[in-house]
């Protein structure tokens, strides 16, 4: 898909802002992940709820940084070559004239806006579809193959719910389609327990299991799981956001363990129950919350219930290392941001104005940037529109505008002629899409500029009836 095709869907301002938001989210999330790690180092292993909130705050700040970055770039986006219905030129993408590393990165991203956004859209759509399917699967689990508990069991479960401060309507069901307990739904939560639970577990263990699931409801974890699914889809390419998402899953289960143990007052019973059910854990639904969680979390969760003292020296060394890493990351990011923004941008537009007037506008915005430019036809009227134009871009743009050459074509396919124009005027003819690529094109141009050729091409392409080579 070409850039001009995506522009019809997103608009060039949105396309440019979205692509750069994705790029900047990589280092922004990296800094937030380092900050989260340092904050967690100040907490104890039995403060799972606090750790969960710290990680959630980090992920929320990641979203906030992305939103701020999007609107920052949306206000100073790059424009591209477009033809009006009459064949006139309305805007042009500027050519970057800097040679340093960050300018090259900027140019590379701007040249591949469509590829970046298209790839992100495909990934977002695919992962969102998987999440929606998992959500629908969870809903079906609560409707098919289920049996109600006896009144005696329901009274026990509601008594446990009241101990956790839950007073909403709850549904408790036995299911023969699941292997581990889980909670489905947020507004009307349903706690599903495997049918095999009633055969292999003691009443005390069953109550412990239900306590864990009730803790998820008390903490609104189902809603959090929905938001996490959205984060996974939006930041599927971002390893640091995915890492924080994974850590959030772990601390959520730990926090529910703490709540359940606080009520049952029997850590050993709880640990035995976790171990007993671990072997039955075969899958994990992202839109449900379950007792066991991921397999590799089980050992750590059991160990947490019986903490052992750690040396302060070891923790201090880890903390100092993380502070040094965080400082280095902040310094690197600040330098990178300054390098990307130091260029300074401005808007430049003209409609049927002499080139000399446009040059004066550029000089006012960037004093000294036009002193080496010698105009050949200062009174030639041009129409163009630039935004996010760097001062270093000014000489390259006016060179392309002032470049004069001659060219002759006799019944050549229009798209073949366009390739020649793109080689001669790369800035002006970048990402041009023809309506009649197979039309036969004949022209004899002498001493013309790139803008004049572009206007001629636009006018020819706008003709309703053209002879085709096919």
Task: Please report which residue ranges of 42-100 form alpha helices under DSSP H.
Answer: 48-74
Cα gap 375→365, rounded to integer Å: 18
Characterize 428-450 residue by residue with b for buried, 16 or more Cβ atoms within 10 angstroms of its Cβ, and e for exposed: bbbbbbbebbebbbeeeeeebbb
Cβ(284)–Cβ(294) below 8 Å: yes
Cα dihedral across residues 455, 347, 25, 233: positive or negative: negative
The pLDDT value given to residue 287:
43
Task: Kindly give the confidence (pLDDT) of every residue in the chain, 470 residues in length, as a single tens digit, with 9 standing for 90 and above.
Answer: 444 455 455 566 778 788 889 999 999 999 999 999 999 988 887 788 999 999 999 999 999 999 999 988 877 644 444 444 444 444 444 444 444 566 666 667 766 777 888 899 999 999 999 999 988 888 888 888 888 888 899 899 999 999 999 888 899 998 888 877 889 988 889 999 888 777 777 888 888 889 999 999 999 999 999 999 999 999 999 999 999 999 999 899 889 888 988 888 888 888 877 777 765 554 443 444 445 545 456 666 766 676 665 544 455 555 565 666 556 555 555 555 544 444 456 666 676 778 788 788 777 777 777 777 777 777 777 776 665 667 777 777 777 676 666 777 788 888 888 888 877 777 667 667 788 888 888 888 777 777 778 878 888 877 776 666 55
The pLDDT value given to residue 332:
55
Taking the domains of the chain in order of start, what are their residue ranges? Answer: 3-131+311-341, 135-293, 346-470
Q: Cβ–Cβ contacts within 10 Å for residue 309, how many?
A: 5
Phi-psi region of 165 (alpha: psi -120 to 50; beta: other; left: phi over 0): left
Cβ(202)–Cβ(177) below 8 Å: no
Cα gap 209→292, rounded to integer Å: 10
Cα gap 289→299, rounded to integer Å: 18
Residues in the chain: 470
The pLDDT value given to residue 72:
84
Cα gap 298→386, rounded to integer Å: 57
Backbone angles phi, psi at 147, to 5 degrees: -135, 150
């Amino acid at each position: 898909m070409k850039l001009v095709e995506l522009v019809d869907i997103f608009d060039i301002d949105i396309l440019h802002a979205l692509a750069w938001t994705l790029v900047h989210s990589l280092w922004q999330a990296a800094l937030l992940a380092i900050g989260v790690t340092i904050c967690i180092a100040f907490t104890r292993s039995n403060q799972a709820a606090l750790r969960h909130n710290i990680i959630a705050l980090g992920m929320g700040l990641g979203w906030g940084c992305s939103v701020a970055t999007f609107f920052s770039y949306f206000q100073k986006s790059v424009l591209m070559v477009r033809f009006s219905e009459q064949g006139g030129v309305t805007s042009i993408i500027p050519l970057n004239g800097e040679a340093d590393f960050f300018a090259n990165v900027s140019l590379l991203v701007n040249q591949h806006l469509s590829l970046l956004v298209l790839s992100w859209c495909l990934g977002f759509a695919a992962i969102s579809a998987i999440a929606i399917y998992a959500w629908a699967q969870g809903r079906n689990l609560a409707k098919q193959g289920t049996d109600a508990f006896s009144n005696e069991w329901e009274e026990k479960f509601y008594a446990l719910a009241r101990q956790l401060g839950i007073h909403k309507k709850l549904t408790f069901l036995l299911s023969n389609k699941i292997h581990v307990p889980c909670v489905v739904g947020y507004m009307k939560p349903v706690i599903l327990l495997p049918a095999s639970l009633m055969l292999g577990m003691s009443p005390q263990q069953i109550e412990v299991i239900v306590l864990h699931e009730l803790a998820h409801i008390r903490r609104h974890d189902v809603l959090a799981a929905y938001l996490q699914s959205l984060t996974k889809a939006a930041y599927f390419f971002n390893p640091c956001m995915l890492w924080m998402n994974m850590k959030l899953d772990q601390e959520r289960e730990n926090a529910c363990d703490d709540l359940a143990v606080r009520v049952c007052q029997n850590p050993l019973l709880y640990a035995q129950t976790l171990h007993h059910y671990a072997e039955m854990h075969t899958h994990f639904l992202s839109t449900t919350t379950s007792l066991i969680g991921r397999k590799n979390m089980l050992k750590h969760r059991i160990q947490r219930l019986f903490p052992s003292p750690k040396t302060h020296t070891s923790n201090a060394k880890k903390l100092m290392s993380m502070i040094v890493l965080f400082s280095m990351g902040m310094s690197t990011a600040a330098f990178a941001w300054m390098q990307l923004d130091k260029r300074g941008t401005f808007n430049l537009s003209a409609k049927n104005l002499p080139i000399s007037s446009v040059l004066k506008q550029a000089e006012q915005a960037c004093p000294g940037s036009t002193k080496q430019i010698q105009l050949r036809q200062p009174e030639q009227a041009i129409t163009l529109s630039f935004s996010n134009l760097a001062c270093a871009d000014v000489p390259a743009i006016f060179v392309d505008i002032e470049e004069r050459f001659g060219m002759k074509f006799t019944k050549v396919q229009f798209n073949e002629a366009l390739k020649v124009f793109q080689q001669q005027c790369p800035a002006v003819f970048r990402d041009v899409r023809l309506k009649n690529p197979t039309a036969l094109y004949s022209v004899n141009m002498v001493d013309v500029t790139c803008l004049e050729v572009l206007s001629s091409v636009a006018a020819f392409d706008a003709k309703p009836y053209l002879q085709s080579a096919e």
